[in-house]
């Protein structure tokens, strides 16, 4: 069994998510916005975030895989689900659970640009700089985290721990 060290409590997470949602709502109050959640990790965060938004949005998901059952990215990005919504001339906000190396986001931004959206921005629950390889700007982040492997609130280790309502650091 792995040791789980509590990092962020659910009520603290929710308050911060609501705060970020208010900023997004203000920034996009007069425009069309499409939320594109990155599966699987972002679905919990995206669910809470979109319920806190005060503007109409369209919602879609895109699937990627780069970790498998390891704690380090393989560096190879696999697209596991494509978009269903037409994003041409629309503002797109990518919803990510954690920005780590940034490689997945570089890949996805280039992929999404091929559909000619009006804009693409990034919203992440966790912006982690410890292993950042790509020059990625996170436009909206709930928390900046320096290091550690995190699980819970949608984040997993080998498909485990996503269901935890709070965020923990995983000690292997």
Gyration radius of the chain's alpha carbons:
15
Q: Which residues contact 145 (CB under 8 A, 6 or more apart)?
A: 98, 126, 127, 128, 130
Euclidean distance between CA atoms 152 and 162, whole angstroms? 5
Burial classification of residue 109, based on how many CB atoms lie within 10 Å of its CB (0-12 exposed, 13-18 middle, 19 or more buried) = middle
Q: Can 70 be counted among the known catalytic residues?
A: no
Maximal C-alpha separation, the chain = 49
- C-beta separation of 105 from 92 below 8 A: no
Catalytic residue among 27, 70, 97, 100: 100
Q: Which residues contact 1 (CB under 8 A, 6 or more apart)?
A: none
Residues marked active site are found at: 100
């Amino acid at each position: 069994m792995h040791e789980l060290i509590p990092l962020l409590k659910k009520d603290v997470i929710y308050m911060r998510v609501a705060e970020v949602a208010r900023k997004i709502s203000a920034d996009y109050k007069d425009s069309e916005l499409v939320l594109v959640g990155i599966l699987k990790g972002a679905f919990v965060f995206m669910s809470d975030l979109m319920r806190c938004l005060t503007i109409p949005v369209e919602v879609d998901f895109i699937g990627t895989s780069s970790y498998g059952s390891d704690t380090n990215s393989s560096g190879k990005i696999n697209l596991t689900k494509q978009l269903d919504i037409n994003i041409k001339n629309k503002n797109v906000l990518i919803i990510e659970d954690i920005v780590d190396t940034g490689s997945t986001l570089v890949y996805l931004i280039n992929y999404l640009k091929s559909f000619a959206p009006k804009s693409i921005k990034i919203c992440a629950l966790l912006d982690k700089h410890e292993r950042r390889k790509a020059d990625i700007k996170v436009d909206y982040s709930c928390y900046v985290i320096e290091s550690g492997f995190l699980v819970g609130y949608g984040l997993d280790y080998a498909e485990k721990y996503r269901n935890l309502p709070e965020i923990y650091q995983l000690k292997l």
